[in-house]
Structure 1
Amino acid sequence: MLPWLGRLLRPLAVLLLTAAALAAPTGTAQAASAPSTGWNNWSCKPSAAHPRPVVLVHGTLGNSVDNWLGFAPYLVHRGYCVYSLDYGQLPGVPFFHGLGPVDKSAGQLSAFVDRVLAASGAAEVDIVGHSQGGMMPNHYLKFLGGADKVNALVGLAPDNHGTTLSGLTALLPYFPGAADLISSKTPGLADQIAGSPFLAALNAGGDTVPGVQYTVIATKYDEVVTPYRSGFLQGTGNNVRNVVLQDLCPLDLSEHVAIGLTSRIAWHEALNALDPSNAERTTCASVFD
């Protein structure tokens, strides 16, 4: 196979192999994620400087710990109460979450936010999500009453309008049974394909809701959410800010995974969205902040 063709087909192969692997018989035991360090501290009380807890929402095939090993301590060190949840679990599949139906995952987020508000005494939370974790909360905000409980939603490479996987989802009809396999075994993946019924319903009548401030931070090197601008929101009025990571720092080569795991440029811009009154311009030098 030509090398370039192999690179193009790899994301589609991962999609199909994931669904196929999960179709195989498995046990039902769920392995718990390792305990986090410095966050998910249920005795944390928000300060006057940072009055809203931050809820971190992992991406597809992620979990509440691994997705946030860098960013969660970054926020805790700056005085935030930080919490992360697991969602979209499938029976017998430990650690790799975000595979269940997205609307059901939004229900899990709703319950988790209620728990955070009850423990912290705060009136609202802010949400930062990576990939599906930046898109899924939109369902919570729009259909599950989340708009009254959330001040801001920050998406790191979110797939708000789905993904084509570099156009490879168009090849699914040429693999007999592939689309049905993905839909039945990993519905969370199927929901994220551009043009899916879930996304059509989610974005009908507008892709934002009043009262919530939205920030989308995308990377032009995204190989998972394609085209990368499909993560951008339209919104109404001035409630949306769409940012390309390389417009902040051309030297940041982060792709889909790294924008959440290691990009301090993206983290700095997310921090600005959480505390806009004290925002500082994000540049390549922000990596040292």
Structure 2
Amino acid sequence: MTAAAAVAGALLAVQAPAPAQASSSSTADPVLFVHGYTGDAGNWNVMADRFRTDGWPSSHLDQWSYDWRQSNATTARQLSAEVDRLLAATGAARVDIVSHSMGGLSSRYFLKNLGGTSKVDAWVSLGGPNHGTDSANSCFDTSCTEMRIGSGYLAALNSGDETPGSSRYATWWSPCDLVINPDSSVPLSGAANTRTVCLGHSDLLVDATVYAQTRDMINR
């Protein structure tokens, strides 16, 4: 998530550590990518290409787009339909969801409230405002107000078990992410929570190490 101006001005700086060894197979779950506030499907081009290189067929890589201005609950219902479409198209039993920023909020709503835990094997949040961010104080779309610290949307989403069901949950957060404030907003109780090196908010989408760790987590 970010205020529109912050996201629009963000630069995608690709980091290039030594690549991790590929561990994919064509039988892996299909991956549904969920972008964040002001984002679109193209945000995932670098990561999706890396998945292809590591053996995922294009039919199993769904760079999904939605109207980021609407309530995250509305997006969650649309995401539910997209999951069903992807499962039908691939013949898979479950999907993996990889989300960036605000995309984590709609996908978590789907898991918690719309039966998503029976359809999702692994869920990933890259720089998600899971407990709110003060950056949301400067934007006013419905989706953005839901990201404000203390919002009713977040209070309901985080009530009870933050990682329900048998799905596997993981988050990545950066100490240099200036969009998600505080940093402690990202980790979830019951998830595998990973601190990255110093990366900007959008860098989480393209960093090679974050990709390799994400790939290995969902491919277990």
- Matches of residues 112-191 of structure 1 in structure 2 within 5 Å? 112-165=82-135, 169=137, 182=140, 186-191=141-146
Structure 1 residue 245 and structure 2 residue 196: aligned? yes
> Does residue 228 of structure 1 match 2:189?
no
Cross-structure match for 2:30: 53
- Specify the alignment match of 2:54 in structure 1: 78
Cα distance, 1:78 vs structure 2? 1.3
Work out which of the residue numbers 200, 207, 212 in structure 2 matches 1:255. 200
Match of 1:110 in 2: 80
Match of 1:211 in 2: 166
CA deviations on 1:90-149 (whole Å, 9 max, x unpaired) are xxxxxxxx1210000001110100000000000000000100112321100000111100
Shift of 1:48: 6.0
For residues 188 and 108 of structure 1, what CA distance do their matches in structure 2 show?
Answer: 14
Distance in 2 separating the partners of 1:145 and 1:13: 31
Q: Which runs of 5+ in 1 are unaligned?
A: 1-10, 19-46, 90-97, 173-180, 247-252, 277-289
Give the Cα separation in 2 of the matches to 1:55 and 1:126. Answer: 6
Based on CA coordinates, which of the two structures has the bigger radius of gyration? 1
> SS at the partner of 2:41?
coil
CA distance, structure 1, for counterparts of residue 94 and residue 31 of structure 2: 9
2:25/2:55 contact within 8 Å kept: no
Q: Is the 8 A contact 1:152 1:274 kept in 2?
A: yes
Paired residues, number: 200
- Report the TM-score when normalising by structure 2: 0.85
Cα deviation code 1:46-82 (max 9, x no counterpart): x9653310110111100112x1120011111212221
User: TM-score normalized by structure 1?
Assistant: 0.65
Equivalent residue of 1:59, what SS?
Answer: coil
Residue in 1 that maps onto 2:70: 100
CA deviations over 1:191-216 (Å, ceiling 9, x no partner):
11111010011111121112010110
The secondary structure found in structure 2 opposite 1:126 is strand
Q: Check the 8 A contact 2:72/2:105 in 1, yes or no.
A: no
Task: Measure how far apart 1:234 and its partner are.
Answer: 0.4
Structure 2 letter corresponding to 1:69: N
- SS for the counterpart of 1:69 is helix
Do 1:50 and 1:79's aligned partners in 2 also have CA atoms closer than 8 Å? no
Supply the AA of the counterpart residue of 2:211. W
Distance, in Å, in 1 between the alignment partners of 2:28 and 2:177 is: 33
Go from structure 1 to structure 2 and tell me whether the alpha carbon gap of 1:82 and 1:12 turns closer, same or farther (over 3 Å shift): closer
Letter of the aligned partner of 1:55 in structure 2? L
Match of 1:266 in 2: 210
Greater RCO, CA 8 A, separation 6+: 2
Matched residues, percent identical? 34
1:14 corresponds in structure 2 to 5
